[in-house]
Chains A and B, each alone.
Chain A
C-alpha cells in the first residue's frame, strides 16, 4: 500500500475543494453574511493547511496500483464530504455534525436528500455552497483534479483513479492522455451549464436562482433553494428547460464528444442512449395518462409527467408537483425508474441503463441457449461483443447492489417507519435521487430519521455514487495488508 501517494492525491483533492470554497466566501461577502463568512473562512483555512501539508510529502519509490486507486477515491470522498459539511455546522445552520455530514454527502453524491425542514432559512452563501457541491460531485472531484493538476507525467497510474470514480461498468478515455480526457469532459460540462443558465435567465428567473438551479440540474443533484422545489417557478418554459437539461445531463458524455467530433450518426446508434430515451418517453406517456383525471388537461399532465420522469430517471430529484399524491401506479413506476437511473458516464446515479441493457441482452442470449444449446450467441452492444468478464461484472454489481439493499433495509427498520417510507428512502438515497414516497416525499424531508438511519443512508449515498466497490473494498482486509 502506497500511503504516501494516496496522501498526496488526497492533499490535492482538499486543495481543489478549498479553492472552490473561495467562491462561496465571495457570495458571503457580497451578501454580508457574518456567520457564513467566518464558517467558510475557517473551513478554507483547515482545507488549505491539510492540503498543503499533504502535497508537500515526498512521493517515494512505490507505484500506484488498482488498490491505491480505490482507496484514494473512497477515502477522498469521505473526507471531502466531511469538510464540505463543516461550514453548515460552524455557522450554526445545521447544529448537529452528523446532520451536516449527511447534507454534504447528499450534495457531493448528487442525491439531494435534505434534513432541512426550511431550506429558505439558509443564508445565500450556504445555499450557493450546498448547490455547488452537486456540480462538483456530479462530474467528479477527482476528474477535476486530473484535469488541472499534472500528476501523471506519462505514467498510466492515475487511470486507476478515473476508473474508480467514473460511473458505469467500463471507462473510455476520450483522448490519449488522461489530463486531456478530463479536460474534455469538464469542457462539455461547463458549456452545457452556461447554456442552461442563459436559458433560465432569459425565461425570467433571477440570476442567482438560475445559477443554483443549474448547478443542481447539471450534477443531477436536486437540492432546491425553495421549499416548494421547482414548483416555486410556475412558468412552463422554465420547467421545460430544466426538465430537458436534466435529461441531457443524464446522457453518456462520450455521446457529446462523438457529436462534437462530427460522428453524430454513431452517437445516435448508441444502444444505451436509445434505451434511456425510450424508457423516458414511454414512462412519461404512461404517467401522463394515469394522472390525467387529476389535472384535466393533457398538456399539463404531460409536462408534469415529463418533468417528474426526467427528474427521477436522471436521479436529480426536483419536483414540480407532489407526486406523493399521485395514483399508486405512477408512484410505484417512479420508484422502479429509480433503480436503473441514468446512463453510464453521465452525472446521474442509479445502477445505470447500460447495465440494464447488458442484463436484458444476456438474459435473452441465455434463453436462446436453452432452446438451442449449440447455437453460438454472443451478446452484442453497439456492434461489438460484450465480453464475458463485463457481463459477469454486471452480475456481480447487481448482486452486491441487492445485498446492500437488504442490509440497509433491515438497519433502517429500527426506526419503525412504514414499508413505503423505508423502502423509498433507501431507493432514493442509494440511487442518489433524493425524494421518495410518504414521509420522505417531495413535501417531506429526512429529518424524521434517527441518527443511525441517517448514517446508514449517508453510507448508501456514497456507495451509490462510487458504484459500491471502491467503498466496499475499503473494508476488505486484503486492501490494507502490507504485502499483497
Chain B
C-alpha cells in the first residue's frame, strides 16, 4: 500500500519503521531535513522536505495516488488540515493525531467533513491504559480483545506465587479458570512455552484470560489485590488530565503535582474534585509531605523520562504498592526493566499499535480481517485479533490437528459473547473472533499466514 506519513517525530518515526518493514511504500514529509536524513538512512522510505499542509508538498509526495495519509505532526490544526487537503486531492483514507481535549471532543462533529477515517489521541489512549492497569495493580500490562471480553495480561512471578516451579501441564486448574499462559519472558528472551516448560521465579508471563475472570485469576494465584483508592500523579500534562477525570469518575482520590502555576490552576478548574499541588514533583520532601507513603499508586507523567524514572524508583523505594512510569524513549526499556520499573506506558507505542492494526485491516480484504493488534512482551511479540467472516479450510478442525507455524498460538476465541480459551479439542468457526499470538518478526497479515503451508491440516505435507 502507498502510505504518506506527515511528521517524522517520535510517533511518526515509529510508524514509518513499522509500516516500511511490513513492506508498504512509505513517503515521509517533515520540515526538518535532519530527522528526514536519519529516516532515509535507517529505513527504505522516500522523503519530502516541507510543510505537509501545503498542496505543493503533498503533490510532491504523490498524496493524490496514495491509499493512506497519516498526519502525526505536533500541531492538531496542521494534522486536521493535512487530512482535509489529502482527501480533496484524492487520498483514500486519512488518519489524524488530535490530542487537545477540546478538539478531541468536537472531532465527532467534524469527522465526516474532514474525511477522517480514524483520529488518534495518544494521550487519551495512554490515560485509558493506565486506568485499566490501576484497576488490577498486579498486572504489568493489560490488552483487551474482542471488544473487551478477552484480555492478555502480563504478570511477574514473585516469591510465594504457586506457579513457580510448576510445569505447564501440571496447571490443569488454570484451564478451569479459562486462562492460558501464552508467553514467558526470561532474561529478556521470549518463549511461547509448551507443556513441559517449567516456570521460575522472576519470569514475566503473559496470560490470555476471560475479562470477567480476572479477579478470580488473581485470587487463585495468591496475589493480594487491594483496591486502588488513592493515586498520586506527578506531572500535570494532558495524560494526567484525562487520567484524573477517569479516576475521579470511579471515585478514586487523585493528587496531581504540577510545577507550572498557570497549568496547575487550569487543572484545578477542569478537575474540581482533584487535589492539585503546585510544586516540583521530583522534590522528595514535597512528595513525602503530600502523603506519598500512604498512597496506593504513583503515576509519573512529566515530560522528561529521566524524572519519571527517578520519581518512580523513589516510590518503589519507600514502598508504594504500585508505580506506573510514562516513557517516551522505549529503546532503553531493557536497561531499566531490572531496576524495579516494571509497569511502563508509552503513548508512542500505543498510537503506532492502533494505526498499524488499522493499516493491516485495510490491507487485507479477505480471509478474516485484522480487528486489533497489540505488541506485547516489550515489542518482541504481537497479539493480533481476526474476525473470521468467510469459509476457510481451517474451520471446524480441532486445533491439535492443525499445522500451525512454530511459536504461533491461538490464544482466545470469542464465539457469541462467550470467551473460549482454547484447548486442543476446540476448533475455530465462521463468525468467531480469534486472537493469535506470534513473535513480532512474523508479520501476520492474514489468518492463512499462521499455517505452515497451504493445507492447514496436520500431516498433509507428509502424506504427499
Residues of A within 8 A of B (CB): 66, 152-160, 173, 175-180, 387
Contact = CB atoms under 8 A, between A and B. Distances in A.
A158 B44 CA distance: 8
B334 to A, nearest CB: 15
B45 A156 contact: yes
Nearest to B20: A154
Nearest to A261: B62
A387 B33 CA distance: 11
B2 A156 contact: no
A72 to B, nearest CB: 15
A177 B25 contact: yes
Contacts of B43: 154-156
B41 A180 contact: no
Contact of B21 (A154, A158, A180, A387): A154
B273 interface: no
Interface in B346-366: none
Contacts of B42: 155-157
Contact of A153 (B17, B21, B47): B21
14 contacts: A153-B44, A154-B23, A156-B39, A156-B45, A159-B40, A159-B41, A160-B41, A173-B40, A176-B20, A176-B25, A176-B45, A177-B20, A177-B45, A180-B25
Contacts of B129: none
B27, B39, B45, most chain A CB atoms within 10 A? B45
B79 to A, nearest CB: 21
B44 A175 contact: no
A176 B41 contact: no
A177 B44 contact: yes
Given A154-B20, A176-B2, A159 B44 contact: yes
B25 A152 contact: no
A175 B62 CA distance: 10
Given A154-B44, A175-B46, 9 more contacts: A154-B21, A154-B22, A156-B40, A156-B42, A157-B41, A159-B40, A160-B41, A175-B25, A387-B33
A180 B20 CA distance: 13
Nearest to A171: B40
Contacts of A180: 25
Nearest to A172: B46
Contact of B44 (A66, A178, A387): A178
Contacts of A158: 44
The 4 closest A-B pairs by CB, nearest first: A154-B21, A176-B25, A176-B46, A156-B43
A152 B44 contact: yes
Interface in B376-395: none
A270 to B, nearest CB: 15
A152 B20 CA distance: 11
Contacts of B23: 154
B26 interface: yes
A173 to B, nearest CB: 5
Nearest to A383: B56
Interface in B126-146: none
A5 to B, nearest CB: 15
A232 to B, nearest CB: 45
Interface string B24-68: 011100000100000111111111000000000000000000000
Contacts of B17: 154
Contacts of A153: 21, 44
B209 to A, nearest CB: 34
Contacts of A176: 2, 20, 25-27, 44-46
Contacts of B46: 173, 175-177
B143 to A, nearest CB: 25
Nearest to B56: A383
A387 B26 CA distance: 25
Contacts of A179: 44
B21, B40, B44, B46, most chain A CB atoms within 10 A? B44
Contacts of B22: 154
B96 to A, nearest CB: 21
A97 B39 CA distance: 45
A398 B27 CA distance: 33
B14 to A, nearest CB: 13
A176 B44 CA distance: 7
Nearest to A181: B46
A176 B39 CA distance: 12
A27 to B, nearest CB: 37
Interface string B203-227: 0000000000000000000000000
A228 B325 CA distance: 79
A153 B443 CA distance: 12
Contacts of B40: 156, 159, 173
A173 B22 CA distance: 19
Nearest to A263: B59
A158 B25 CA distance: 16
B25 A155 contact: no
A177 B44 CA distance: 5
A176 B22 CA distance: 13
A175 B20 CA distance: 13
A387 B37 CA distance: 14
Interface string B177-188: 000000000000
B444 to A, nearest CB: 16
A179 B25 CA distance: 11
Interface in B392-414: none
A155 B45 contact: no
A191 to B, nearest CB: 22
Contacts of B47: 173
Nearest to A152: B44
Contacts of A154: 17, 20-23, 43-44
Interface in B432-454: none
Nearest to B18: A154
Contacts of B44: 152-156, 158-159, 176-179
A380 to B, nearest CB: 15
